[in-house]
Structure formats: C-alpha cells, structure tokens
A and B are shown apart, each in its own frame.
Chain A
C-alpha cells in the first residue's frame, strides 16, 4: 500500500487519478533525429493554479517514452535517464483540467512547474489500462503505473457499458450481458454522447438494445462527464458525455505489447486481446512512425441466473484495430482504423409482439437447464468500422491547432426468430449508417489569465435501409457547429464560459412500401448550447464548483417517423412528425475534498428538459395477428434531480475504504408521474486490504464489497412495463496482485467473485426483468501479460 499515494483509488470504479486527456499532442523533437545519448533529468512540480499549493497524486506522463508516475506529497516528481531532447509532458489529476508542457533537455536538466486549474465539469475518470503497467518502475520512486495495471484487471467488463456501470451517477440499460447501454444521470441513448477517441460515435443509438459498438479491450481510459451543456461535444449531450480513449500511440523506439485474457464463469466466456506496438517503423517520405496493431475475440454462451440458464443469450465478438502516427516538431498526425464486429443472440423469451404473447412470456418465462454456446435467432449482427485521421499542429506561443476527420460505417442487422421468413438470410431490420465528421479547433495562446478553445465542426450522415421491414426511413443529414470555450483564473476563483451553435438539416426519404406512410420530409433545426461554471477554492484541499448550462437535441428519425412493433417490448410504436426539439436547463453544484487520507465529492443537480420526448400509451391496436399495446411518441416537460457522492478513505497504507451513492428522481411535470427508465437508488462500498509484498508478488490484496440497490417504486402508473422492482444486495470479493513475477515474466492477475451468494434479483433497468432474473454468481479471472517495451522494467 506504500504505492497508494494520494487519492489514487484501488477500486474498480473509484475516484482515480485522471490521466492526462491529450493523446496525440505535439511532442517536439529536434527534427526527429532520435533521442540524444546524454542522460538528463526533469523535475516536475504540480501546483494548484489558484492557491499555488502542491498537488499530490497527479499523474505525470511522458508519452514518447511511455513513462508515467504520480507526484508526491510536495507535488514533485523526478524523471531520470531522459534523452537530451525536447519532451512533451502531460499532467492530469481528477477534478483538474489536464495540462501539457514541453521541456527542453537538449542543454541541461530542467525543472518545470505545472499549474493545474480546477475543472468545472463534474468529471469522473476511470483509467482502464492507462499507459504501461509498471513501465516506469525503475525510474519512479513510486510504483504508480502499477496502480494503473491494477485497474486494468479489475475494471474491464464484458462491454464498455459494463465497465463503467458502477461509477456514481452512471447506470446501464441491460439486455443480458452482451448489450449494456450507459445511462448518465438518468438519460441514455440519444441523450448522451459517446466519444470514441475524440470521434462522436454514430451507431443507431436511439435503440435501447443498440449498445455502443466499441471494443472493451481497446478502451484505455473511460471518462464520464455528468450533466449537459458541454459545448465541446455538440447538441446531443443532454445527459452527459462518455469519453472512451484508446491508448496513446507509442512515440519512442521500442517494440512491445500486451496479452490480455479474461474468463467469466457465468456465461463460460473466454475473451482475449493481443496488442503489439512500436515506433521504429520507417516509411518513405514519412520517416519513422509509431504503430500499433490490436485484435481481440470473445465468445460467450448462455448467461445463468441463480436457478436457470437464460436461453439464447450468448454472443461473439471479433475486433481489430491499427494505428500509425508521426510526432514531429511541427506537431503530429495519426491514422487510426478500427473494426468492431459482434453477433448477439437475444433472449428467447422476450421476443414477443402481441399482448397475449407478452403476457404468456411473463407467465411462462423461457428458461433452460442446459447451457449452450449456440447463437440462434433472434439475433443481431453488427459491425462498426471507424477510420479517423487526427492532426495537430503546434502554433507560436503555445497555441495549437487540431484538425480531425473521421469516417464511420455502422452496419446493423437484426434477424427475427419469428415471422414467416425467419429462415431468410435477409435481415428483418437492416440499417447502414455512414457518417463523416470533421472537426477543427484552435487552443489559443493564453491571453493573460485567459485560455480557451475555438472550433468548428461538420457532419454528413446517410442512413440506408436494407432489411425486409420498415423501422426508420432512409435519410441524409448535414450538421455543423461553431463553439468557443474560455477559462479565466483569478485568485481563488476560476470561471469557465462556453457557447456553441449547432445547425442540422435532414432529408428523410419516403419509404418504398405500399403500406408505409412515412413521408418525404425535409426539416432543419438550429440551437444554442451554453454553459457557465465557477470553481471557488474554499480552503486548502476544499473546493466548491457550480455549473449552469443549457443544451438541446433534435428529435431523431425514430421519434418522428417510426411505425412498427418493438419486439421484446410488445409495443406498437408510432412516431410523430410534429415533434420539436428538446431543450435542457441544468444546474449543479459540487463540493470536493482532496486530501491525503480522505477524498470525497458530493454533487447535487437539477436538469429540466422541455419538450422531453417519450412514448405514451395510446390504447390497443388490433390486427389479424392479435392486439398490440399502442404507444406514441409525445412530449412533456421533464425534471430530473439527483445527488451523487463518492468517498475514499485511506487512513493507513494497508487498507482503504470506498463508498459511493446515487440518488435520482425524474418527474413528468405535466402529469406529475415519475419518468420511466430511471435507475434505482444505489450504494456501493468496498474495503480493500493489502497483504505483504514479496520480491515476486507486488501488492497482493483482498477486497470485499457490496452493492445495495433500493426498491424502484418511482414508476409511472402505466402497465405493463413499469412495474416496480424489489431492492437487492449483492456481495463481491476479489483477490489480486498488482504484479507477479513468474519466471521473470511479470503479469497482473485478479480473481473476482460477483454476486457471491448467487442471489436472485431483477434490476429495474434490465429489459428482461419482467421475464427472468438477472445473472447469478460470476467468477472472473483477469490476466494481463505485458512484454517487450511494454513490459515493466
């Protein structure tokens, strides 16, 4: 536990050191002639920009050398054995905006002071793998990188959504283990923005059973920005932003990689990832480039509830990615390509359409006593290809220009188990979404105490239908935005103000079916997003922050034009083309304590959304097939209020205690009823003990924890979906070791037992909760084996 400096959490979803956000920033190098032979030293001192007091536990990273460390009590950190060259240093700490500095070591050792300004947004960061586990062990007085390694083995779930679901203020809508949609402060799908390596992820995010198409193994850091009005991320981020960051591209001349293996007992899942990287690839014209190749595979069978298997809930995922990049004195340029591909079977018993089938599925839920890996219909086959090109140019006086382009091809195919042509190879629903995004922004040179960013962004999107059935119309969309964000630091105060204007034009094409009445429709929307935030440093280690913001989103095509049965919900859903845009007004306040033994954060917020779009029951619709429950998209005024708190106590080096809680109430202000789909109140607590280290075992630990979820009775009085769910308590335990030297090979290992007592429970946000229990006990083995230069020295 001596390594657990400051506030770096040992826990799965604890408040943890916020790794610097900038991935592909400029690393000055003298014409890229390679590092000099002389050994240099840099001393970094990290201070609070307002109070000037030293900040402990800040992460200091030299991306080019893949070295990372944390600052000590005096906010200091020394890095030795550095090349006589210019080096970029990234500094980050949770609650603070990340900073980037360039040090010049060509002539002598250097000492730099890096001021960090408090971040206004409530920022919860989760480092899933961070740089290299133990990469800096020799050079660091603290085994800081190993903390990162620890978090790798503890956090990674079966999906990106599952990886973040225990963060305060975050929940997931779950369709079995394979489909997890993040819910931030009660909002999800089209109301939150998911950024995948600075690219706004564009899938068919309006669908509750459409999970983010991102490889959980490729996520290096995941951040959740709670609350709306985030001007950097565009109009759809009413609830917040989930930022998934890949690893920074290696920039120093070695070859290495990692092998990850994850095994899950519950659905007998095996998952593995192999990553290789280096920076000595020499190409004509470009010279030496950094590169990375990664591939992962996972295969899971039926999930098991406490008493039975959930038939047809297996999935399979095959992902690959590659990146190359150059970092030169003028800036950097990176090309990244990733492919995500998954086949997901959906639970047999929820594939119902008519009311009588729905009621029967509740009365006679499909369960099985036999496990199977087979992927039967109904199922989804989804691929997502992302190509992005990221460029950064260093301008005079510390200003920077970033220009990013991305192309995404999302191909979603859903195959019915039912319907006459269920054997057909043509999917029931097939949608292809093609998105181009371009984003240019300038981080201007500081003007006195003022720093900031201005940007423009543009988007072109096409939606193509390739299935047998109508779901949403084909459309073309153009969008654009301009934004600016400025920050002023004065004494104990820090002010941030941002403003953004977005415009969106959409042409939905008439559907070519004799019975579908989806019209040819052209419309456009424009609107402002704005935020203003203040941070006040109350006293040493204490701060108070508040943000007010407003944001909006255009109704999506499903809300405007959908017409059809939502299978699994037994709902007949009708769009309403007269619906307008949603607008949110949110305010929040956060009190933080950042101390060496105690760290906590408590936030309260209110988010009011006018023209909040939701499905309202409209009565029974009858056909020759039977009757459906009819629902129509309609609007109301919604209000969401909540409190989130998290707390980490590290009284002595060998144990620590973490707790967090989330409370949320959403109300339809017109009817006074609770909003549908709000997560239940919950408390999470963990205690971790470190037992003795040895030369082969570094920081073996034992952790026990619990998740307590209150009965969800805040449900609208509309049958049948929003029935209350009972509260439940789950217990977890974990055994792990930060680093185990086995015949000279370091590896990181953990064994986690989730829902240890195999409790039967149904979470309110589980879409199978009306039919079957959530998964029972799961024992998870996670192993990471770094090698080559990625191996800790």
Chain B
C-alpha cells in the first residue's frame, strides 16, 4: 500500500492539529457561569404577628444573615423583641428571603410553599436559648412562659399535613414579661413528610426571636 504509506505521517499530523483546534473551543472558564449563585440562601427572616382583636399593635421582628446560610458570617442579632400584649391572640406569618443581591431578591417563602409537602415549620416557646439552638429534637414548650403556638393553628399542606407558614400565637393574660423566646425551625424532608415528626430531614432554618410581653 505505497499510496497510504506516503500519506500516513501527514495524515497523522493533520488529524492531530484538527482535533486540538476543534476540541479547544467552547471551554472558556473566563465566561461567567450561567445560573450561578445560590438561590437557596436565606438572608432575611421576618416574623409578623397581627393581633386578631383591634386595639393592639402589629408585632414584627427580623434576623439578617448578611451572607446567607451557606457562608460563614454569623447572623446579626434580631432587630428587636416581638412586643406582645397580654391576653391577645396573634395571627403569625414567617417570611424568608434571599436579598443578598439587592437587584435580585428571591422569595424563598414561595419556593418553600411550592414544596410544602416536604417542609414543616415548628414554633416553640422557650426561655433557654442554647437548648433551642442545638437540641437534636424540638425543644419542649416552656409552660411557664404562658405563651403558646397551638399546633391546630398551623396551616396545612396539599395533603392535609401540618405545614406552618402561618400560625397563631396565644398570649395568656398571666404571661410573664421577659425571658421568653420564640424558636422557629424549618425542617426539609427527603420524602413526603407525613406528620413531619420523622427523623430523616435537614434543617433549613433555626432562629430565635426574643418575646417581650407587655
């Protein structure tokens, strides 16, 4: 095969050059990655408590984590205590946002709402900050606080299970004034959560708001 013999070295070289040229395209790391940025960050948590009876003020407070849930800066302290009146029942909402990029604020609450069959909020009243933060289980509600978030007040998901993006806070007429903390947690389940009391979940949110009863 003298013909192909003569061709071979040049064929090899040409082929090699062609491959390198061809394959070197479209791998430019200098271009910004499409879809980058983590929309799953929560940077702002706001609790709003609206009294069910007239004559009382709306209580609201927020916690800002300036670099979100996936970066190391600690969250700021809460904006202030939730100021509640004795003997009043409040309708509560919790709002989660990613506002790290002010030009692109993401409503995390809406994403959680879409996946409500896989999420559950927990609200507990305690006056032990440390227990609320790191307990493996949900801290028990401290009856002495005389502030309660009734389980029955939490809204439900599409399957009729507890979800809890809305809730009620019931303040007893005899509630003490200070030392009370509202702990809010959001649990994300790998599979449909059912009652939401299973142990295979990941914590999406774990925050404490001080409560002052006046």
- By a beta-carbon cutoff of 8 Å, the part of chain A in contact with chain B is 31-32, 285-287, 312, 330, 333, 348-349, 351-357, 359-361, 363-364, 366, 376-378, 387, 389, 391, 405, 407, 417-423, 426, 432, 434, 436, 438, 460, 462-470, 474-476, 507, 509, 511-516, 563-565, 572, 574, 621-627, 630
- Once the chains are docked, how many angstroms separate the CA of A356 from the CA of B35? 30
Inter-subunit contact B203/A330 (CB<8 Å): no
Mark out the residues of chain B between 16 and 72 whose CB falls within 8 Å of any chain A CB in the assembled complex. 16, 19-20, 23-24, 27-30, 32-43, 45, 63, 65, 67-72
| Contact between chains at A389 and B27 (CB < 8 Å) | no
What residues of A have a CB within 8 angstroms of the CB of B19 in the complex? 387, 389, 405, 407
Also in contact, A348 and B207, with CB within 8 A (given A419-B40, A469-B70, A621-B72) = no
- Which chain B residues have a beta carbon within 8 Å of chain A's beta carbons? 1, 3-5, 7-8, 11-12, 15-16, 19-20, 23-24, 27-30, 32-43, 45, 63, 65, 67-72, 74-75, 100-101, 108, 111-112, 114-115, 118, 133-137, 188, 190-191, 199-207
Known contacts A407-B19, A421-B40, A621-B72; decide if A626 and B206 are in contact (CB<8 Å).
Answer: yes
User: Given contacts A420-B39, A421-B40, A466-B35, is CB(A623)–CB(B29) below 8 Å?
Assistant: no
Q: Which residues of A contact B74 (CB under 8 A)?
A: 621-623
Q: Is the CB of B68 within 8 A of A389?
A: no
- B190, A377: Cβ atoms closer than 8 Å: yes
Q: A364-B199, A514-B100 are in contact. Are A462 and B205 (CB under 8 A)?
A: no
A434: min CB distance to chain B, Å: 4
Contacts beyond the supplied A462-B28, A624-B42: 7 A-B pairs with Cβ under 8 Å: A330-B8, A366-B200, A418-B202, A420-B40, A464-B27, A515-B38, A625-B69
- List B contacts of A470 (CB < 8 A): 36-38
Residues of chain B with a CB closer than 8 A to A363's CB = 136, 199
- Determine how close the nearest CB of chain A comes to the CB of B146; give it in whole angstroms: 27
Nearest 9 A/B pairs, CB to CB: A364-B199, A474-B29, A418-B202, A462-B27, A420-B111, A625-B69, A626-B206, A465-B33, A513-B37
A574 in contact with B203 (CB, 8 Å): no
Q: Give the chain B neighbours of A360 by CB distance below 8 A.
A: 136-137, 199
Min C-beta distance of A761 to chain B, whole Å: 23
A514-B101 CB under 8 A given contacts A356-B134, A627-B133: yes
Give chain A nearest CB distance to B207 CB in angstroms: 5
* B1 lies within 8 A of A623 (CB): no
Contact partner of A625 (CB less than 8 A), chosen from B3, B34, B114, B204, is B204
Partner of B203, one of A467, A476, A626, A630: A626
The docked-state distance in angstroms from the alpha carbon of A389 to that of B201 is 48
Residues of B with C-beta under 8 A to A391? 12
Q: How far is the CB of A151 from chain B (nearest CB, A)?
A: 36
Look across to chain A and name the residue whose beta carbon is closest to the beta carbon of B201.
A357
Across the interface, do B70 and A509 meet the contact criterion of CB distance under 8 Å?
no
Distance in angstroms between the alpha carbons of A391 and B8 in the assembled complex: 11
Considering the complex, give the chain A residue whose CB is closest to the CB of B111. A420
B40 touching A468, Cβ below 8 Å: yes
Write out the residue numbers on chain A whose beta carbons fall within 8 Å of the beta carbon of B11: 285
CB distance from A185 to the nearest CB of B (A): 34
Contact at B38–A625, with CB atoms within 8 Å?
A: no
Residue of A nearest to B104 (CB): A514
CB of A347, distance to nearest CB on chain B (Å) = 11
Q: In the complex, what residues of B have CB within 8 A of residue A464's CB? A: 27, 29, 33
Are B202 and A357 within 8 A (Cβ)?
A: yes
Interface-centre pick from A330, A333, A468, A515 (highest chain B CB count, 10 A): A515
Distance A400 CA – B53 CA, assembled complex (angstroms): 93
Say how far B7's CB is from chain A's closest CB, in angstroms.
6
14 residue pairs bridging A and B, Cβ less than 8 Å apart: A285-B4, A349-B200, A357-B201, A361-B200, A364-B199, A376-B190, A432-B27, A436-B23, A466-B34, A469-B70, A515-B38, A515-B67, A623-B74, A627-B133
Contact present for B37 and A468 (CB under 8 Å): yes
A351→B203 CA distance, assembly (Å): 11
Instruction: A80 to B45: give the CA distance in the assembly, Å.
Output: 83
CB pair A354 B1 closer than 8 Å: no
Known: A405-B20, A419-B40, A422-B115. A353 touches B29 (CB 8 A): no
Pairwise interchain contact A460-B24, C-beta atoms closer than 8 A: yes
Residue numbers in A under 8 Å from B108 (CB-CB): 420
Contacts of A511 in B (CB 8 A): 33, 36
- Across the two chains, which residue of chain B brings its CB closest to A476? B29
Specify the chain A residue showing the minimal Cβ separation from B68: A515
Assembly CA distance A516 to B101 (angstroms): 11
B12 touches A333 (CB 8 A): yes
A423 with B115, Cβ < 8 A, contacts A391-B12, A624-B75 known: yes
Between B24, B39, B67, B72, the greatest number of chain A beta carbons within 10 A of the residue's beta carbon is seen for B72
CB contacts (< 8 Å) of B29 on chain A: these are 462-464, 474-476, 507, 509
Within the complex, what minimum Cβ distance (angstroms) separates A398 from chain B? 21
Closest to B184 in A: A624
Question: Which of A31, A285, A355, A460 sits near B134, CB closer than 8 Å?
Answer: A355
Residue of B nearest to A393 (CB): B9
- Return the contact of A359 from the options B43, B71, B136, B190 (Cβ within 8 A): B136
Contact, CB under 8 Å: A624 / B45: yes
Q: CA separation between A513 and B70, bound complex, in Å? A: 12
Point out the residue from A419, A434, A476 that lies within 8 Å of B188, measured CB to CB: A419
Instruction: Indicate if the CB atoms of B191 and A376 lie closer than 8 Å.
Output: yes
Contact, CB under 8 Å: B38 / A354: no
Could you say which residues of chain A place their CB within 8 Å of the CB of B16? 389, 405
Q: Kindly report which residue of chain B lies nearest to residue A622, judged by CB atoms.
A: B74
Among B12, B27, B63, chain A packs the most CB atoms within 10 A around the CB of: B27
Inside 8 A of A419's CB, which chain B residues have their CB? 40, 188, 204
Give Cα A352–Cα B202 distance, bound, in whole angstroms.
6
Are B35 and A426 closer than 8 Å at their CB atoms? yes
Q: Which of A330, A417, A432, A565 contacts B70 (CB 8 A)?
A: A565
Which chain A residue shows the least CB distance to B102? A514
- Shortest C-beta distance, B212 to chain A (Å), equals 21
Find out whether the CB atom of B72 lies under 8 angstroms from the CB atom of A630. yes
Given contacts A418-B202, A436-B24, A626-B203, contact A572 B39 (CB under 8 A): no
Chain A residues positioned under 8 Å from B8 (CB to CB): 330
Contacts of B115 in A (CB 8 A): 420, 422-423
Q: What's the nearest-Cβ distance from chain A to residue B126, in Å? A: 15
Rounded to whole Å, the gap between the CB of A421 and the closest CB of chain B is: 6
Give bound CA distance, A438 to B16, whole Å: 10
A515, B71: Cβ atoms closer than 8 Å: yes
Bound-state CA distance A352–B115 (Å) is 19
A418 touches B36 (CB 8 A): no
- Is the pair A31, B1 in contact by a Cβ cutoff of 8 Å? yes
Shortest distance from the beta carbon of A290 to any chain B beta carbon, whole Å: 16
The answer to whether A624 and B65 touch across the interface, beta carbons within 8 angstroms, is yes
Cα A460 to Cα B75 in complex, Å, equals 42
Which residues from chain A contact B63 at a C-beta distance below 8 Å? 624
Whether A422 contacts B206 by the Cβ 8 Å rule is no
Partner of A389, one of B15, B34, B42: B15
A623–B73 Cα distance when bound, in Å, is 7
List chain A residues, Cβ under 8 A from B203. 353-354, 356-357, 625-626
**A407 contact set on B, CB distance < 8 A:** 19, 23
Given contacts A405-B19, A423-B115, A624-B75, contact A465 B205 (CB under 8 A): no
Establish whether residues A468 and B69, one from each chain, have CB atoms under 8 Å apart when the complex forms: no
* Chain B residue at smallest Cβ distance from A416: B40
**Cα–Cα, bound, A621→B71 (Å):** 9
Q: Whole-angstrom distance from the CB of B98 to the nearest CB of chain A? A: 9
B185 to A: closest C-beta gap in Å = 9
A351–B190 Cα distance when bound, in Å, is 9
- Residues B69 and A623 in contact, CB atoms below 8 Å apart: yes
Partner of A287, one of B4, B70, B202: B4
CA distance A509 to B28 in the complex (A): 11
B65, A348: Cβ atoms closer than 8 Å? no
User: Chain B contacts of A465 at CB under 8 A?
Assistant: 33, 36
A249 shortest CB reach to chain B, Å: 17
Complex Cα gap A421–B114 (Å): 9
B23 near A624 with CB under 8 A, answer no
Residue of A nearest to B69 (CB): A625
Report if A469-B38 is in contact (Cβ < 8 Å); known contacts: A330-B8, A625-B69. Answer: yes
